[in-house]
Structure 1
Amino acid sequence: MLKVGLTGGIGAGKSEVSRLLASYGAVVIDSDRIAREVVEPGTPGLAAVVAEFGKSVLAADGSLDRPKLGGIVFADPERLKALNAIVHPLVRDRSAQLEAAAADDAIVVHDVPLLTENGLAPLFDLVVVVDAAPQTQLDRLVRLRGMAEDEARSRMAAQASRDQRLATADFVIDNDGPLADLEPRVREIWEALRERARDLSRPN
């Protein structure tokens, strides 16, 4: 099994890279999706979040009001740290379960937005960073996701810097251009990952 960490700043296009890798045959374990699952209604995770932040972070239907919680934690590093202390262990445990269920010869891609911030690079055989210029990230967040510019800048500032992310990379996928340019780059990385996986499987 080849364990790959995939990361990138918000708006860099990591989700599209993840989707492409899955289409080629990678087993993708999406930390963001798991982070949503572990705080669904009725879970111990949601109960812990409410105990920490109060019932005001719940929507009328009892689910987590993500914009409300985001407004609290992204404006206050200490509150963000408190949220991460609840969610990250739950995500880590679920990710480990999914990885254990993968085939021995699988290429397992852990899609982890905060890989750099949390010092997780040593957990993986290789790290792939999806890279885009900060101005490109900001443009995508405002134009494509409809974020207010202040909110987008706040989200970006809460993450590692571009240089910090690139320092963890074994492979870099440049996604500063149009989507049509991305697929060939991801395919090239996939072939490199397959070659590395073959190397791992060869007897010494």
Structure 2
Amino acid sequence: MIVLGLTGSIGMGKSTVAAMFADAGVPVFDADAVVRELQGPGGRLLPAIEAMFPGTTGESGLDREKLGKAVFGDRQALQRLEGLVHPAVGEAREAFFAANRDAPLVVLDIPLLFETGGDSRVDKVAVVSAPADQQRERVLRRPGMTEERFESILALQMPDAEKRVWADFVIDTGGPLSETRDRVNALIACLRREAGG
């Protein structure tokens, strides 16, 4: 099995690329989706998050805006939150590997792959990237996004240029979707050959 780490900064198109891998039959572990489940209605991390950051959860799960205000710009608060979230995501990842142990290729979709040292737990890394002006335009179209929030998120992420240097593969999403899909399918074929599958 080849474990491909898929990462990319906010607004680069990583979710779209992850869906292309899934559409091609490659098992994809979506770390963000796991986090949303853990923090959603009835999520098992809600009591611990509420105890750590009072007033940030409710019946509908985590209030992302309130939690964002509690942790953004406060590295220690963010580290405490990550201390809750990362072990729970790790358990889900191990269950994913067990369920897909016969697959020749699996993808771990992890936004902060380099920032959390996750690149040491994968065989190859693919970075999803687009020109900075496209990234900014995509992100600022999101509901509730502001320039200030965008800049604070970028400050927590390794710069795109640096990610590209450390990547085994760079998937450019700056052009038409059909070109991106062709790149993804070519990468899948290459990695499946390497894995013997």
| Global fold match (TM > 0.5) | yes
Deviates more, 1:2-11 or 1:133-142: 133-142
1:49 Cα deviation from its structure 2 partner: 0.8
Residues 27, 106 of structure 1: 8 Å contact kept: no
Residues 116, 164 of structure 1: 8 Å contact kept: no
Question: C-alpha deviations, 1:90-128, integer Å up to 9, x for none?
Answer: 001111111111142331101000101011112111111
AA partner of residue 50 (structure 2): V
Residues 18, 109 of structure 2: 8 Å contact kept: yes
AA partner of residue 68 (structure 1): K
Structure 1 residue corresponding to 2:117, chosen from 92, 116, 119: 119
Once superposed, what is the RMSD of the aligned Cα atoms?
Answer: 1.8
1:38 maps to which residue? 38
Any unmatched runs of 5+ in structure 2?
A: none
The separation in 1 between residues aligned to 2:49 and 2:179, in whole angstroms, is: 40
AA partner of residue 72 (structure 2): F
The separation in 2 between residues aligned to 1:176 and 1:77, in whole angstroms, is: 32
- Number of residues of Structure 1 aligned to a counterpart in Structure 2: 197
1:14 maps to which residue? 14
Distance 1:182 1:45, change over 3 A: same
The separation in 1 between residues aligned to 2:146 and 2:109, in whole angstroms, is: 26
Secondary structure in structure 1 of the residue aligned to 2:40: coil
Question: C-alpha deviations, 1:47-101, integer Å up to 9, x for none?
Answer: 11111111x1024x35110122123222322221111111011001111111111
AA partner of residue 45 (structure 1): L
TM-score (norm 2): 0.92
1:145 Cα deviation from its structure 2 partner: 4.8
1:22-61 equivalences in 2 (<5 Å): 22-54=22-54, 56-59=55-58, 61=59
TM-score (norm 1): 0.89
Percent of aligned pairs with the same residue?
40
Residues 138, 153 of structure 1: 8 Å contact kept: no
Secondary structure in structure 1 of the residue aligned to 2:68: helix
Residues 7, 113 of structure 2: 8 Å contact kept: yes
Any unmatched runs of 5+ in structure 1?
A: none
Structure 2 residue corresponding to 1:84, chosen from 82, 88, 108: 82
Which of structure 1's runs of 4+ aligned residues deviate more than 4 A?
none
